[in-house]
Amino acid sequence: MTTEPRRAVLGQNQYGKAETRVVRISRNGTTHHLKDLNVSVSLSGDMDDVHLTGSNANVLTTDATKNTVFAFAKEHGIASAEEFGMRLARHFVSSQESIRSARIRVEEYAWDRIGAPDADGARHSFVRAGRETRTAEIHHDGEGWEVVSGLEGLVVLNSTDSEFHGYVKDRYTTLPETRDRVLATEVNARWRYAGTGLDWDASYARAREHLLHAFAATYSYSLQQTLYAMGARVVEHLPEVEEIRLSLPNKHHFLVDLGPFGLKNDNEVYYAADRPYGLIEATVLRDGAEQRIPVHPARP
Ligand SMILES: O=c1[nH]c(=O)c2[nH]c(=O)[nH]c2[nH]1
């Protein structure tokens, strides 16, 4: 019996940039609108050579597909995930002979406005739709009780009223100063109660509301300042709370440089980076209270 020589052949293939995190802010006077997408591009076509011969002549770079996402967000806006995805797909297939098909996957993160329409910040302050995780930790030694409640994953964003400047400049400092930036964070908070016998649900709702209100209403010169304002507002409005500890990742939104494409980015198109991120943490406590919430939360 003769054995056929085994030869490898190229099967289905596709390529593109996955998970471009684009945030488009439209500013209608002082009322801002937000679109927040995660866009993945997969292109297929005449790609035998790039796999088999080392020729890149048919390859539109994945970098260019990412740039196209940002540039289209600026030029055409984002009416809907579907419309935006169709526009991208049509562009890739019709502008490059070597590209025969495009698959665009879009995840859209929904945002709600914070507060009533006339409330502070309602025009430019947002909370990510979908509930945060509520937490509670109870300790009892047969006599005393300690109750620490909290929340994790409450994502908020201010599209203006945030500056950052005046910081130390050492030889490694490159961050440009800014008088108007997007400030976004995921609120992770734990607060310790002075006693028991409370309406826990009502207290939780009040703490959450005051955290959101302080985030929206604070004109911020740093996330540290916003953190303190949020913690202080809870301590000052909830007499049952002795201390609160906040852990706030700075969810950086970098303005995309659209200059190379002949486009001006007037604080409209942002790249939402996921890491690394600044991590701002502090305890805010009632004057005279003991600081007892541990720095690192216990994991279940
Ligand atoms: O609000 C901020 N606080 C910082 O300490 C800091 N550091 C940084 O690079 N960006 C920011 N933003």
Question: Residue 298 pLDDT > 90, yes or no?
Answer: no
How far lies 253's CA from each of 32, 140, 157, 199, in Å? 16, 43, 10, 38
At 231-273, the pLDDT tens digits run: 999 999 999 999 999 999 999 999 999 999 999 999 999 999 9
The DSSP symbol for 239 reads T
- What is the pTM (predicted TM-score) of this model? 0.93
Catalytic residue among 66, 74, 252, 253: 252
At 4-16, the pLDDT tens digits run: 789 999 999 999 9
Longest dimension (CA), the chain: 91
Who lines ligand 1 at CB under 6 A?
Answer: 164, 175, 222-224, 250, 278
pLDDT computed for residue 62 by the predictor: 98
Question: Closest by alpha carbon to 106, among 157, 69, 62?
Answer: 69
pLDDT computed for residue 35 by the predictor: 98
Catalytic residue among 62, 91, 135, 237: 62
Kindly give, in sequence order, each residue whose CB lies less than 8 Å from that of residue 13, ignoring residues fewer than 6 positions away. Answer: 44, 47, 51
Report residue 258: phi and psi, to 5°.
-95, 5
13-115+122-143 under CATH 3.10.270.10, yes or no = yes
- Asked whether the domain spanning 154-300 has the same topology as the one spanning 13-115+122-143, the reply is yes
- Which fold would CATH assign to domain 154-300? Urate Oxidase (3.10.270)
The tokens describing 279, both together, are: 């991590």
Confidence of residue 120 (pLDDT cuts 50, 70, 90): low
pLDDT computed for residue 227 by the predictor: 98
Atom of ligand 1 nearest to the CA of 162: 1
The tokens describing 116, both together, are: 């009533």
- Known catalytic membership, residue 62: yes
CA 223 to ligand 1 center in whole angstroms: 7
Q: Where are the domains of the chain?
A: 13-115+122-143, 154-300
- Known catalytic membership, residue 165: no
Question: Residue 228 pLDDT > 80, yes or no?
Answer: yes
Question: Is residue 160 a contact partner of residue 32, using CB atoms and an 8 Å limit?
Answer: yes
Averaged pLDDT for residues 42-51 = 98
DSSP helix/strand/coil, 84:
helix
Question: Is residue 254 a contact partner of residue 270, using CB atoms and an 8 Å limit?
Answer: yes
- C-alpha torsion sign, points 94, 96, 99, 105: negative
- Give me the percent of the chain exceeding a pLDDT of 70: 97
CA 278 to ligand 1 center in whole angstroms: 7
At 137-175, the pLDDT tens digits run: 999 999 999 999 999 999 999 999 999 999 999 999 999
CA 182 to ligand 1 center in whole angstroms: 12
Average pLDDT, the chain: 96
Question: Residue 116 pLDDT > 80, yes or no?
Answer: no
At 16-38, the pLDDT tens digits run: 999 999 999 999 999 999 999 99
Question: Is residue 90 a contact partner of residue 68, using CB atoms and an 8 Å limit?
Answer: no
Q: Point out the least confidently predicted range of 115-129, 174-188, 193-207, 236-250.
A: 115-129
pLDDT computed for residue 2 by the predictor: 64
